Chain A
């Protein structure tokens, strides 16, 4: 068992311990926020892959989150009952539609969540590749501004479109059925199973990304980050790698959007807001740009505190301050492998750290 697997196992054990702890102390309500934290962390680790390993900033990831969330919300709440076109009946016969009852007891005919999820991911991939192609040719300020622009366009579209609920968003999104009778829903009775579902998915995502980083692709990405021209000269197709990573991180964000929408039973335009994107970048930055575990750890702490409302009305301000402080004093992030060495250096007042006693 390698070190990597050991870390994953430790992490899994921690998750189980937290669940048992909350159950024993009767604080099970924490699990709701913890579950949401896990889904938000899915965005974070995906973004960490893009920023830290491919070296490309994205200030528009809330946009991808919203694309996923809104697509699934729209498809699973849009009633197709009155529409008897050939396509709808074909879908119905193939079992892609489900009929269910809304809260008032009226019957609804909607797209199956699995199909909605697939459509959401597909849409995200298409959008990511379409905008990623030209965007990733840009650098620095231009890249930051362009990704911010993409995020704002998505925000404006969901805010201004009637059938996406405009400022109210979409509510009454049904749960997401999984094999074995499990369902992703915010129902208090299935709190524990949902907690494990979310964290299980997050671990799966981490394993995938950690393996990717150790692979040939990961090493190529590190080369791209370090010296793009040199990497290109070595025969690494830098543009393609950057684009694939962009799409991958977008899918992570969209998947989080889909699952969180089903978990919360709805989505609103604030999820697509610029502040959300900035927050994701802030968390990746504080965790250490190229440090999946660091980003994950920071995401858990900050998202949980934010969801529990510890920051009150200063929520956005807290993330702004975090961004500034981190970028001013520790641009490589707070959680680094050399953190201890750094501390020692600061204590011994030897800023070069070369001949630390």
Chain B
């Protein structure tokens, strides 16, 4: 469940940017890492809730900077070019993180209780942090859904995603919407990173595996469909925990990638997506 939630959060981050721009941001996992890392560092100076809030804001700024510096002024870039640029950005963030924080593994303290304490939920004992992860993850997803369907800004973003030219004709600033999509996906990534890091720990290079699993989940649920991504995240999380029974832990990461490949080969539109809709999208 915990892992499933974090994968779903990363996948939603992918979806936000994909929907607004048609770009897969390979640096999405780095947002999660940045969120966790900055929260841990700031927690040394300020109380934890404030540290997490500041970490999210900082990561949002990073997201905005990335969009403004690298993406904004490109005119109709090819997919290959965008793939390579975002991979380059992810390497850059990772290397900067390595030089700031070193190779050490960090973690936030548990929000409530400790790593050994657990809560009895009708006979099942689970760690309180798992509840925090699922709760905050669920809240973030709900907030995003509300944002996209209820607020004017959210509707404008969806308009841009559906048809950028038409949106522009209606007086929507499409470029700012793209920036906003990077900011939003950075925010949700950072929230996920901060919430989950007491359990999973965070290191300078923990972004890439998350990005790959998030991408798997995004594909599994059908690119661009955030509700399906939550379901797909849970499926992958559960599959992964089962795989440990059959195969050595060292191969755990290979499992999710094998699933990804299998889905790509058999059904690139995802389990919950329609093949019809997938054909209309640009890859």
Contacts and interface: CB of A to CB of B under 8 A. Distances in A.
A140 B88 contact: no
Contacts of B169: none
**Residues of B contacting A: mostly:** helix
A186 B238 CA distance: 48
A275 B99 CA distance: 17
Contacts of B83: 57, 140-141, 144
Contacts of A161: 250
Given A142-B268, A146-B264, A324 B85 contact: yes
Given A141-B24, A145-B264, A328-B70, A323 B253 contact: no
A138 B263 CA distance: 11
A81 interface: no
Contacts of A324: 70, 85, 88-89, 92
Interface bin, chain B: 35 or more
Contacts of B253: 152, 156
B264 A139 contact: no
A320 B70 contact: no
**Residues of A contacting B: mostly:** helix
A264 to B, nearest CB: 24
Contacts of B282: 140
A149 B88 contact: no
Given A157-B254, A281-B84, A317-B91, 14 more contacts: A131-B261, A135-B265, A140-B79, A146-B261, A149-B212, A153-B254, A156-B250, A156-B254, A156-B257, A278-B87, A320-B92, A320-B95, A323-B84, A324-B70
Interface bin, chain A: 35 or more
A159 B283 contact: no
Interface of B: 24, 70, 74, 77-81, 83-85, 87-92, 94-96, 99, 208, 212, 215, 219, 248, 250-251, 253-254, 257-258, 260-261, 264-265, 268, 282-283
Interface string A130-168: 010011011111101110111011001101110000100
B84 A145 contact: no
B212 A152 contact: yes
A323 B88 contact: yes
A323 B85 contact: yes
A316 B88 CA distance: 10
Nearest to B23: A141
11 contacts: A138-B264, A142-B268, A142-B283, A149-B258, A153-B258, A317-B92, A320-B88, A321-B92, A323-B84, A324-B89, A327-B88
